[in-house]
Amino acid sequence: MSSSESAAQDAGATRFPWLGPAFFVAVLIALTVFFYWFLKA
């Protein structure tokens, strides 16, 4: 965990270090659900 935190600080995202990964995961989940619903329908 320390390596990822230091990487986020090096990137300059000290205020919201979780915003990038959280947004990426949210987009992945949204795409997965959308494709699952699209293929099921």
Q: Which residue is it, tokens 């959308």? A: 34
Q: Domain residues of the chain, as ranges?
A: 2-40
pTM of the prediction? 0.47
d(CA 28, CA 2): 24
- Which stretches within 1-41 are classed as H helix? 2-11, 19-40
Confirm if 34 and 26 have CB atoms less than 8 A apart: no
pLDDT band at 33 (very low <50, low <70, confident <90, very high): very high
Measured between its terminal Cα atoms, the distance across the chain in Å is 40
Query: CA 11 to CA 6: how far, in whole Å?
Result: 9
User: pLDDT, tens digit, for every residue of 6-26?
Assistant: 555 555 555 666 677 888 999
Confidence of residue 27 (pLDDT cuts 50, 70, 90): very high
The pLDDT value recorded for residue 34 is: 97
Q: Which residue has the higher pLDDT, 17 or 32?
A: 32
